[in-house]
Amino acid sequence: MSASIAVVGAGPTGTCLVERICANAADLLGWPSLDVHVIDPHPPGGGRVWRRDQPELLWMNSVAADVTLFTDESVRCEGPIRPGPTLAEWLGGDPGAFASRPAHNGYLSHVFRHAVATAPRGVRVHVHPDRAVDLADIPGGQAVRLEGGRTIEVDAVILAQGHGDVTPNGEERALADLAARGGLRYLPTGYAADLDLDGIPAGEPVIVRGMGLAFVDLMVLLTSGRGGRFVREYDGELVYLPGGREPLLHVGSRRGVPYHSKTGYPFEGARPPVPRFLTREALGEGPWNFRRDVWPLVAKELAFAYYHELITAHPKRARLDWAAFAEAFAEEEWRSPGIRKLIRTAVPRHLDRLDFDRLDRPLEGIRFGDRAGLQKWMHGYLAVDLERRADPAHSADHALILGLLSVYGALAELGISDPWFHGFFSHLASGPPGPRLAELRALARAGVVTFLGADLKVDHHDGRWRAQSPTVPGGVTATTLVEARLPAPSVSRATDPLIGALRDRGELDEKSGLVNVRAADRRLVDRSGAPHSRRFAFGPWVVGGQATGGFARPRLNAPLFRHADALARIVLSEAVGTQIRRHVA
């Protein structure tokens, strides 16, 4: 008799699930016969986001040594550990290099092929290069209908589509309507590799709203992608040589500054001993207000990680040893007079002390008399960030990032998510490669990029787009507006036909834009709150899945592997049937 599972989505998340299903099958099934149906119109491994046909100019924002889709000895899970190479090891190159996205596609494809090739006897993986458009209950199982007309009957289904497209929100529709009626250009949120940038004219001002990773991709495609080059001057300064086809990018955002760059040195310190303060016992009973109830514990964890590295790795910059500091730190509440006094006593240099408010909003309260003053400040800000992120004397910054990763996973375990903290996390820990920030600085020096400031507002004025910021007086106008941001998750606006069909029938529920699942086992929850016995969902677009992105750092007991392993074991042990099915009808 044969068991059968459908995994909808063949990107990194789906690939990780397939690997964990194959790894656990022999242990959990009473018969060595399992059919795994992988459904995605894009080739397995990379899926849509990490597909092969992207420009080599687009890089990952993690160094190759920090990327893996194989479990290792750090992963605490019930299933077998099946180690494999990191991206750096698979490429055989510099572990500190940033791989292109097409190169990462090759690695992800390798992981998928390896999972299939090493599956135990009796486990068969079937790849369906098609789109799942609907799902229905049948006696003892599920029927997955494909866009091409076929139907696959299985015991259980796991939705793992990853980040999906959404229809424009109300503001985007209004702006698109204004553009259509006024002869303007408007590009809404989306992946830069998917946008049609050919219509953005050369040499004209373009207002860009957003300074995160989507902006970095856009910047690259509109400069290097249009024939521009970066060269080093005799003094080592990076200089941009225009190709003549680039637009003039006027960029701003809520913070008014780009994400911090990735650290450019190998971290040799001990991993920070966190989390230890962020526990359910410390939180008490919910519901919780994040800034009031959760953030003080999160901030204490992050400060603990930061000062642990500062004091242990750079003891000459501290007046207390670690044991004394840690004992006193544990007794104090965050933002208490006692903890402020402890930090001032232990860390004499102001520049060595953490300032979360300034890290989050570096332009807060700063006003410039003209745009030239802001440009000068931004050049200095970028230079300092690049210098600090390349200097191991500031390894406490790297420890802070590791602390953020641990806290992010702990919050996922607790079922806590918050949009502000996600943005804060991305700003500090998920920034671009250092070379990209150096290119941004060179583009600004060349006049191709102009910074607009924080709390950017865009409206329609005298037949043009107008952008203004309280950071600097005046504003700029242009005929083109680009939203350099990824769309926020939204089940109600999802364009995925399967999600739409389940949503419209009330068989799938939404919570804060995410697919709602039962926390204990990730079973899909319908609009009445009832979980489905044979339908599951997994990934960053699912409630509680913010720490289960498409790949993980090695030797960090990554939530992606722990949660994927647990889900694979639940599906194999609880949701598969024993009747023989017609797999494709």
CATH code for the domain in which residue 39 is found: 3.50.50.60
Question: Angle between the 395-414 and 419-429 helix axes, to the nearest 10 degrees?
Answer: 150
Residues 63 and 158 in one domain: yes
Note the pLDDT tens digit of each residue in 408-465: 888 888 888 898 999 999 999 999 999 999 999 999 999 999 999 999 999 998 999 9
Own/partner pairs, 469-475, CB within 8 angstroms, 24+ separation: 469/252, 469/256, 470/367, 471/256, 471/363, 471/366, 471/367, 471/368, 471/374, 472/367, 472/368, 472/369, 472/370, 472/371, 472/373, 472/374, 473/369, 473/370, 474/370, 474/371
Q: Are 305 and 399 in contact (CB under 8 A)?
A: yes
| pLDDT tops 80 at residue 42 | yes
- Residue 266 in any domain: the answer is no
Closest CA to 80 of 35, 115, 107, 39: 115
Write down the pLDDT at residue 32: 65
Mean pLDDT for all residues in the chain: 93
Segment 560-584 mean pLDDT: 76
- Residue 366 in any domain: the answer is yes
- Residue 145 in any domain: the answer is yes
% of the chain with per-residue pLDDT over 90: 83
Q: Which residues pair with 467 in a beta bridge?
A: 458, 476
Write down the pLDDT at residue 585: 44
| pLDDT tops 60 at residue 213 | yes
Q: What is the pTM of this model?
A: 0.93
Residues 552 and 523 in one domain: yes
Segment 222-234 mean pLDDT: 96
* Boundary residue ending a domain (483, 499, 522): 483
Note the pLDDT tens digit of each residue in 352-384: 999 999 999 999 999 999 999 999 999 999 999
Query: CA–CA separation, 113 vs 110, rounded Å?
Result: 5
| pLDDT tops 90 at residue 490 | yes
Segment 232-243 mean pLDDT: 93
- Residue 585 in any domain: the answer is no
Write down the pLDDT at residue 577: 53
* CA dihedral for 24, 29, 35, 38, sign (positive or negative): negative
- Residue 40 in any domain: the answer is yes
Segment 7-35 mean pLDDT: 92
Closest CA to 408 of 274, 257, 583: 274
Task: Give the type of residue at 439.
Answer: E
Note the pLDDT tens digit of each residue in 239-294: 999 999 999 999 999 999 999 999 988 888 888 887 889 988 999 887 899 999 99
Count of residues in the chain: 585
Residues 219 and 113 in one domain: no
Write down the pLDDT at residue 584: 45
* Boundary residue ending a domain (408, 429, 450): 429
Q: Are 450 and 375 in contact (CB under 8 A)?
A: yes
Residues 510 and 464 in one domain: no
Closest CA to 19 of 96, 76, 83: 83
- Residue 272 in any domain: the answer is no
% of the chain with per-residue pLDDT over 70: 98
For residue 84, how far is the Cα from the chain centroid? 23
Segment 155-161 mean pLDDT: 97
Query: CA–CA separation, 372 vs 368, rounded Å?
Result: 8
- Residue 264 in any domain: the answer is no
Write down the pLDDT at residue 191: 87
User: Among 26-40, 131-145, 308-322, 566-580, which stretch is predicted with the lowest mean pLDDT?
Assistant: 566-580
User: Among 161-170, 478-487, 500-509, which stretch is predicted with the lowest mean pLDDT?
Assistant: 161-170
Write down the pLDDT at residue 60: 93
Write down the pLDDT at residue 550: 73
pLDDT bracket for residue 395 (50, 70, 90): very high
Write down the pLDDT at residue 108: 97
Write down the pLDDT at residue 548: 79
pLDDT bracket for residue 236 (50, 70, 90): confident
* H or E segment to which residue 252 belongs: strand 248-252
| pLDDT tops 90 at residue 131 | yes
Residues 124 and 147 in one domain: yes
Write down the pLDDT at residue 578: 45
Note the pLDDT tens digit of each residue in 545-556: 877 777 888 998
* Boundary residue ending a domain (411, 429, 447): 429
Residues 7 and 46 in one domain: yes
| pLDDT tops 70 at residue 3 | yes
Residues 337 and 248 in one domain: no
Closest CA to 7 of 554, 556, 537, 455: 537
Task: Give the type of residue at 225.
Answer: G
Residues 43 and 104 in one domain: yes
The residues, any chain, with a CB within 8 Å of residue 32's CB and separated by 6 or more, are 25, 26, 120, 121, 122, 123
Q: Three-state DSSP class for 206?
A: strand
Backbone phi and psi for residue 172, each to the nearest 5 degrees, phi listed first? -65, -40
Residues 100 and 225 in one domain: no
Residues 410 and 557 in one domain: no
Note the pLDDT tens digit of each residue in 492-519: 999 999 999 999 999 999 998 999 999 9
Q: Which domain holds residue 185?
A: 170-259+433-483
- Residue 268 in any domain: the answer is no
Residues 50 and 121 in one domain: yes
The domain total for the chain is 3
Residues 382 and 324 in one domain: yes
